[in-house]
């Protein structure tokens, strides 16, 4: 069996174990959170950047992640950012629909309180041709 080549992290970017150690440190400084968060953000690793920005209370970084979630229609990333107005959730839902991300759109409509639209997406996602075991 051929093993896939391991990806080498860019210099200065912590691996998953180092990141876990950093996040568990009591003395982790906001500056270090920002530094590592920005490195993850540059790589497009939004979840990792979000963890560090939240820990360091780095608002500009959190704003960048929010913009990314809006642009990509990522309702789950937006959820991790915290509470938002129904209009923000509707923006996420519209973008998710535009990009064909129906589950993200459904989640965003639910968060906006638009249950009818969420249920419509849920019912349209059910397919009759899906394999069903015999009874």
121, burial (CB in 10 Å: exposed 0-12, middle 13-18, buried 19+): buried
Q: What is the DSSP letter of 99?
A: T
User: pLDDT per residue over 28-50, tens digit each?
Assistant: 899 998 998 999 899 898 998 99
d(CA 89, CA 81): 12
Give the predicted TM-score (pTM) of the model: 0.75
User: pLDDT per residue over 2-14, tens digit each?
Assistant: 555 456 666 666 7
User: pLDDT per residue over 46-87, tens digit each?
Assistant: 998 999 999 999 999 999 999 999 999 999 999 999 999 999
**Mean pLDDT for the stretch of residues 106-129:** 84
């Amino acid at each position: 069996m051929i093993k896939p080549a391991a990806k080498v992290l860019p210099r200065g970017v912590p691996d998953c174990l180092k990141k876990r150690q950093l996040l568990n440190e009591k003395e982790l400084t906001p500056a270090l959170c920002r530094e590592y968060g920005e490195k993850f953000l540059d790589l497009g690793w939004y979840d990792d950047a979000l963890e560090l920005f939240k820990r360091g209370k780095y608002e500009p970084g959190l704003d960048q992640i929010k913009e990314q979630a809006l642009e990509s229609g990522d309702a789950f990333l937006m959820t991790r950012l915290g509470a938002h107005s129904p209009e923000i959730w509707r923006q996420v839902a519209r973008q998710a629909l535009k990009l064909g991300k129906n589950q993200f759109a459904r989640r965003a409509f639910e968060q906006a309180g638009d249950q009818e639209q969420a249920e419509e997406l849920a019912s349209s996602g059910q397919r009759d041709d899906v394999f069903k075991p015999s009874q």
